[in-house]
């Protein structure tokens, strides 16, 4: 098998800039690393996490709103001015958007589950605040006492007399059991459903939060069990009839949804912007109090550096805190409420993990690239998982490699592990991509305490938040102040990245072909990667003034060089 040389791609680009003697991006990012590293201590981030994680946060409820008010207080202390009080000369502004909610909000107060005859609770919200399903109603103050019936299958449920009974299953979903509550007179539901990556047999007290649909006409409750509680209940059921006492107290009430939007207005190109988004709702510390806190310290540091005259930003920087996906999508769609167009979007979600405790690693979830179609070699999906994409789903752009390069630099500096995963979706980067805006996710996975009531402050690393926040700020500052030097460095970076990627893919393809695979299919993979990088190179034009014909010509030549030197198997 022969392949055309791909070295000329890189040699061509080496000739375009005197900056080529240094590693790609180093010339333009090093000054920002030197600015940010001494400033980012992580104190505000950690203090914010400690405050926020006290609450079970849902849009409109007490914990969510108190978090919003804390963010506003800290922004004002950092010099951000409420928009309605701001003058044209104020560059640091914020607003709190308020909207009527389509349904009431909810918050848990207390819950307990006791097997009659036992001296201790099987579960208590004092230690398992995720035990009560989201939107569960309250029982009478004295609780509900009823027999528990184990349901082993959907078919078995259809033949059981469940009237006045509490249903329990570790085999079928809550949705299936819920219908028996509504239609067959069952009084409540106990469930167990813990994914294997949460290691429930090790983390025996963990409960991953669950939710039910709010139905004001048919109020009901459900309780999720830990592995230990599930095993205890099954043991008792094996002995004979089991009755339990269930007490739940929750609040369901009308409220408003709040979103915080903070802006640092650009000095030269204020109508172009980068948006960071961190969602508030979720009951955990890492998810996503760490995103809230890290982003808040990022906003503070930015204001301090600019007030000290150490930094200026040509383009606008926006920080968004709200309800996951919903607030970000709305911010994108409501163009009349923002002045700037969105050039880049970055989601901060679960960015403060102490991986020695939680497991997993820090990840950059890439914009859709060919690794989301052909996931092989060192590319691996997280346990969250992703559906294979098609060529038409790809989002070729320099942002993937740009962010990764910067985070790898911080990783090398701080002895911190940085990895990537192919696109999977499910957080605030998704609305950006759906709106055809370059966007990606900063996160951690696998976390053995993900969405469980053991996701507490002791699982958080202040050092990790410093690393993530530093990499994020340096990346933002570089893009917001991008000029011709930045463009040159981006071209060099992509030239190096495409060379490395094609060399890797050639070796993987040769192995597949040697084992009987299709040469045609393998060539398609190489062609797709080359086309992806050619288009990524072309995307750099967004940073170039339309009258800069010389730079635009260099980008065109680099793009054509990639297309002309695709390895042939």
In this model, does residue 17 exceed pLDDT 60? no
Query: In terms of C-beta density within 10 A (0-12 exposed, 13-18 middle, 19 or more buried), how is residue 175 classed?
Result: exposed
Q: Coil, strand, or helix at residue 315?
A: strand
Alpha carbon distance 58, 249 (integer Å): 16
Percent of the chain residues topping a pLDDT of 70: 96
In this model, does residue 21 exceed pLDDT 60? no
In this model, does residue 63 exceed pLDDT 80? yes
Which residues, other chains included, contact 178 with Cβ-Cβ below 8 Å and sequence gap of 6+? 189, 212, 220, 222
Average the pLDDT over 189-213 and give the result: 96
Predicted local distance difference test score (pLDDT) of residue 361: 96
Average the pLDDT over 315-333 and give the result: 97
Q: How confident is the model at residue 444 (pLDDT cuts 50, 70, 90)?
A: very high
Predicted local distance difference test score (pLDDT) of residue 8: 52
Q: Are 329 and 322 in contact (CB under 8 A)?
A: no
CB neighbourhood size of 15 (10 A): 8
Alpha carbon distance 512, 286 (integer Å): 40
Percent of the chain residues topping a pLDDT of 90: 91
DSSP string covering 180-230, please? HHHHH---EEEE----GGG-TTTSTT--B--B----TTS---EEEPPHHHH
Alpha carbon distance 393, 380 (integer Å): 18
Which residues, other chains included, contact 76 with Cβ-Cβ below 8 Å and sequence gap of 6+? 82, 94
Predicted local distance difference test score (pLDDT) of residue 176: 87
pLDDT tens, residue by residue, 154-173: 998 988 999 999 999 999 98
Q: How confident is the model at residue 23 (pLDDT cuts 50, 70, 90)?
A: low
Q: Which two tokens stand for residue 231?
A: 């095993």
Average the pLDDT over 254-264 and give the result: 98
The model's pTM: 0.95
């Amino acid at each position: 098998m022969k392949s055309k040389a791909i070295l000329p791609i890189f040699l061509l680009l080496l000739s375009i800039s005197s900056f080529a003697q240094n590693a790609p991006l180093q010339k333009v990012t090093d000054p920002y690393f030197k600015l940010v590293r001494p400033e980012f201590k992580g104190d505000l981030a950690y203090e914010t996490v400690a405050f926020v994680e006290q609450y079970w946060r849902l849009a409109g409820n007490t914990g969510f709103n108190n978090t919003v008010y804390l963010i506003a207080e800290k922004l004002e202390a950092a010099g951000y001015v409420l928009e309605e009080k701001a003058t044209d000369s104020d560059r640091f502004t914020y607003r709190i958007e308020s909207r009527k909610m389509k349904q009431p909000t909810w918050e848990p107060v207390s819950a307990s589950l006791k097997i009659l005859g036992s001296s201790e609770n099987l579960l208590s919200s004092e230690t398992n605040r995720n035990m009560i399903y989201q939107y569960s109603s309250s029982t009478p103050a004295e609780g509900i006492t009823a027999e528990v019936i184990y349901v082993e299958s959907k078919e078995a449920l259809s033949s059981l007399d469940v009237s006045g009974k509490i249903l329990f299953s570790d085999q079928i979903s809550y949705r299936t059991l819920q219908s028996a509550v509504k239609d067959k007179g069952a009084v409540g539901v106990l469930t167990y459903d813990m994914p294997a990556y949460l290691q429930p047999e090790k983390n025996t007290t963990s409960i991953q939060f669950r939710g039910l649909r709010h139905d004001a006409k048919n109020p009901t409750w459900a309780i999720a069990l830990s592995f230990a509680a599930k095993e205890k209940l099954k043991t008792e059921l094996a002995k004979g009839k089991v009755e339990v006492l269930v007490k739940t107290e929750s609040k369901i009430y009308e409220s408003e949804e709040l979103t915080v939007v903070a802006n640092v207005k650009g000095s030269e190109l204020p109508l172009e912007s980068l948006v960071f988004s961190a969602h508030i709702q979720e009951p955990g510390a890492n998810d996503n109090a760490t995103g809230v806190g890290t982003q808040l310290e990022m906003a503070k540091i930015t204001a301090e550096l600019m007030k000290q005259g150490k930094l200026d930003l040509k383009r606008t920087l926006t920080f968004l805190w709200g309800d996951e996906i919903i607030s970000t999508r709305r911010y994108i769609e409501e163009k009349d409420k923002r002045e700037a167009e969105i050039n880049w979007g970055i989601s901060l979600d679960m960015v403060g993990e102490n991986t020695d405790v939680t497991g997993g690693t820090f990840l950059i979830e890439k914009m859709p690239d060919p690794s989301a179609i052909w996931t092989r070699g060192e590319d691996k999906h997280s346990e969250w998982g992703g559906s294979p994409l098609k060529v038409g789903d790809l989002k070729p752009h320099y942002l993937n490699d740009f962010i990764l390069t910067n985070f790898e630099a911080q990783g090398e500096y701080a002895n911190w592990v940085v990895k990537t995963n192919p696109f999977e979706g499910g957080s605030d980067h998704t609305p950006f991509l759906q709106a055809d805006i370059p966007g990606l996710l900063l996160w951690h996975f696998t976390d053995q305490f993900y969405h469980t009531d053991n996701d507490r402050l002791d699982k958080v690393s202040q050092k990790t938040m410093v690393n993530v926040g530093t990499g994020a700020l340096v990346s933002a500052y570089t893009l917001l102040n991008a000029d011709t030097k930045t463009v040159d460095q981006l071209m060099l970076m992509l030239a190096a990245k495409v060379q490395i990627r094609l060399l890797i893919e050639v070796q993987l393809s040769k192995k597949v072909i040697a084992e009987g695979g299709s040469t045609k299919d393998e060539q398609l993979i190489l062609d797709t990667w080359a086309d992806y990088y050619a288009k990524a190179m072309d995307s750099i034009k967004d940073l170039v003034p339309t009258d800069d014909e010389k730079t635009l010509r260099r980008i065109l030549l680099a793009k054509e060089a990639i297309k002309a030197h695709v390895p042939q198997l």
